[in-house]
Chains A and B, each alone.
Chain A
Amino acid sequence: MENSVKDEELDLLLDELFRSYGYDFTNYARASLKRRVSRLMIIDRFPSFAELLYRVRQDPAYLTRMVEELTVNVTEMFRDPQVFKTIREEVLPILATHPFIRIWHAGCATGEEVYSMAILLDEANLLHKSLLYATDLNPTAIENIRKGVFPISEMKQYSENYILSGGKHDFSKYYTAKYNWAKFDDRLKAKMIVATHNLVSDRSFNEFVLIFCRNVLIYFDKYLQDNVLTLFDDSLEKLGFLVLGSKENLRFSPIARKFKQLENRERIWRKVM
C-alpha cells in the first residue's frame, strides 16, 4: 500500500491528461482510478509517481498506453446470460416489427458484447436489417472489433454462456479456430460500425432503438453518471430499450421517471415517455 497513489498525485495526473491531451477523467470514480494508476506503475516499473508524470508529459506516444490501462477493458461474450435470454425473448420480438434496427454499444471495449448481440440478431433473422454501433474511448480496444478475433481459451465459457442465453446451435459454428485465436464470422462484422466515442465529452450522434452500456457507469461518479444517462435518453427513441450492468441502476437518476424496468427485474429499461 506504500505504493498506492495519493489524492494530490492523482489530481496532478488527471490535470495533465486533460490539459495536454483533452482526456477528462476528473469525474471518474477515484477508488478504481487509483488502483489503475498504482497497477500501471507496477507493470511499467515506474520507481515513483514523479517518473510516471514526467513520462506522460514528455512522451505523447505513451498516452495511448496510459488511456488503455486507466480504463477497464474486461468484458465477455453473453456476460450475464439471463440478460441476453430476456433480450431474445422479450426485446427482439418488438424490434422485429421495426423496418430498421439501430443499436449502440457504448463503452464496449474489445467488442465481445457486440458480437454476442450480432449472433442473437442473426438467429432471430434480424441481422440483415440491423446496424450495431460499437464505440469506446480506447482506440486500441475497438481495433479488435474490426479484427473479430478473440482468445480461444475463452470459448468454453462463452459457449456455456451462449447456451444459457437460449442459444440452440453449436457455438463453434460462429468462428474458425486458428492457433490460440477464434476468428468470428465476417458476416457478423459486416453490420458493425466501429468508432471512438468518449462518453464524457462527445455528444449524441444518432437515434437508437436499443442502447447497451454495461459496467461502464460504475467507473463514473454520480454527477457523470447522470450526464451520461441523459445522453442515452437523448439518443434513444421513444419505446427504445436501455441495458445496464447487473449492479447499475436508473433509480435516483434524472431520467428515471421516463423509463420503466422490465418485469423480470433484469437491468433492462424501456423509455416510456
Chain B
Amino acid sequence: MAEGDVSKYRMVVIGGSAGSLDSILKIVAAVQEAVDVAFVVVVHRGKSGDSILTDLLSSQTKLVVKEVEDKELILPGTIYIAPPDYHLLLENEYTFSLDASEKVHYSRPSIDVTFESAALVYGPALVGVLLSGANADGAVGLKNIADAGGFTIAQQPATAEVGYMPQQAINLTKVSVILEGEDIGIFLKTLLK
C-alpha cells in the first residue's frame, strides 16, 4: 500500500436491473472527480437503440458518457454503457469487444458476462457494484471479481427496490461491503481517491 494517494482501482463495473436507475444516477454524479478510472454500466433494458440512458447519465456528470462501439478503446474518466442486445467484453486493459451470442439469465447484455471478463483483465484493480434487480444475473460475476482480488459492493437488499439480485450475490460470496443505494456513490468517491 505504498502507492501514495493514488487509488489502486482503475475500473468500476456497475450492474443493475429493475429499480437500479436512481442509484446509478447518484453514483455517476458522485464520482465525477475520478478521472483516472474507467466506469462500465451494464443494465438490463429493451432492445431499442435509443439514447435515453446515455442522456440521463450525461446530465448528472462531467465525465464523458457513451454507449460502447465494437473494439472501442477503454479510456479513464469515461462512463461506458453496454449497448442493448450485445454482451460487453474486455479484450485487455485497453479494448472492449462486443458479442451477440446467446442470452445469459435471459439477458443480453448480461452482468455476469461483463463482470467475469473485467475480473480476468483487471483482477485486484477492479471494483464491482451490484444493484437492485429481480434476476440472478451478476451474482456469479461479483463472485468472480471477489475471487480475482477485486473490491465488491452489493446494494442493501432490504431497502433496494428489488432486493433479489444483490441478495443472490451476498448468498454466493462474501462481498466487501453492503451499502444503501444512495450511499454507494459517496463511498466510491472516497474509495477511488
Specify whether A and B are partners: yes
Question: Beta-carbon contacts of B61-99 to A below 8 Å, as 1s and 0s?
Answer: 000000011110000000000010110011100000111
Instruction: Report if A74-B120 is in contact (Cβ < 8 Å); known contacts: A1-B144, A249-B69.
Output: no
| Contact in complex: B116, A4 (CB < 8 Å) | yes
Q: Number of residues in A with C-beta < 8 Å to the partner? A: 25
* Residues from 29 to 76 in A contacting B, C-beta threshold 8 Å: 29-32, 35-36, 72, 74
Q: Please, which residues of chain B bring their CB within 8 A of the CB of A245? A: 70, 100
Please name all residues of chain A whose beta carbon is closer than 8 Å to the beta carbon of B99 when the two chains form the complex. 31-32, 35, 72, 218-219
Q: Which of A180-236 contact B (CB under 8 A)?
A: 215, 217-219, 221-222, 225
Does A1 lie within 8 Å of B120, measured CB to CB?
yes
Contact with A along B14-55 (1 / 0, CB 8 A): 000000000000000000000000000000000001000000
Q: Is A27 an interface residue (CB 8 A)?
A: no
**Contact partner, B97, options A1, A29, A74, Cβ 8 Å:** A29
Contacting residues, chain B, for A218 (C-beta < 8 A): 70-71, 86, 97-100
- CB contact under 8 A between A247 and B69, given known A32-B101, A35-B113, A74-B101: yes
* A9 contacts the other chain (CB 8 A): no
A residues adjacent to B (C-beta < 8 A): 1-2, 4, 29-32, 35-36, 72, 74, 80, 82, 215, 217-219, 221-222, 225, 245-249
23 of the cross-chain contacts (CB-CB < 8 Å) are: A1-B116, A4-B116, A4-B120, A30-B91, A32-B89, A32-B97, A32-B99, A35-B113, A74-B101, A80-B49, A215-B100, A218-B70, A218-B98, A219-B99, A221-B71, A221-B91, A246-B83, A246-B85, A247-B68, A247-B70, A247-B86, A247-B98, A248-B70
